[in-house]
Amino acid sequence: MAAKKKQSKGGHVYQLKITLRGSKPPIWRRTQVRGDTTLAKLHVIFQIVMGWTNSHLHQFIVHGAEYGVPDPDYDMDIEDEKRVKLGELIFAEKEKLIYEYDFGDSWEHEILVETILPIEKGLHYPICLKGKRACPPEDCGGIWGYSEFLEAIEDVNHPEHDDMLEWIGGEFDSEEFDVESINRELI
C-alpha cells in the first residue's frame, strides 16, 4: 500500500546522495532534483547520473511501499511510479529510500536526502554536483561479480583477464567520473 500523500514540496529542490550499496570504495553521486519530479523521471535521472543503460527492471522502496512499472503479468503489489512525485513521499532531510536496478544483479542504491532547498532561479534541474568512481558494467553479476571483474582486469596473470577486457571493450577505469558529461546528458 502506498504511503499517504501529504502536501507536496514540489517548489523545492532535493539534494540526494545516491550510494551503490556494498561498493568498496563507495560509488556515489550527489544530485539535485525538483520535488515535483515523478519517480518515473527520477529513475531516468538515476540511470544517467550512475551510468546505467536502462536495460533492466527497477523499483523504488519508500517507507516500505514499492513503486515501479506495474505489469499485469507479474504478481507484484507495486504502485505506479508515474503517479507519484518525490515531494509527495519525502518531507524531511535525512530521510532515505532505496532504488533497486536489475533484479538479477540486484544493484541496490541507498538514496539519502541530504537537504531540501528552495529552487534557485536560473539553475537547470536536475543537476549532478559531484560523484566518485565509475558505474559497474551492466550484467557483471552484481556487486560480488563486479569485485571479481575488477580483480580479473587488474591482474594480467588472472585466468579471465583477457576475456574480461575483451568483454568490456578493451579497458575500464574504475576511478573514472565525469560530472560535465553527465550534466550534458541531463539537459
The domain that holds 119 is classified in CATH as 3.10.290.30
Neighbours of 44 (CB within 10 A): 14
Domain that holds residue 92: 12-136+173-186
Q: Note whether residue 68 is domain-resident.
A: yes
* pLDDT recorded at residue 26: 98
- Give the whole-angstrom CA distance, residue 67 versus residue 140: 25
Q: Note whether residue 59 is domain-resident.
A: yes
Q: Note whether residue 85 is domain-resident.
A: yes
Tell me which of 2-6, 132-136, 158-162 is least confident.
2-6
Rounded to two decimals, the pTM is 0.91
Residue 109 pLDDT greater than 80, yes or no: yes
* pLDDT recorded at residue 9: 52
Single-letter amino acid code for the residue at 116: I
Q: Note whether residue 34 is domain-resident.
A: yes
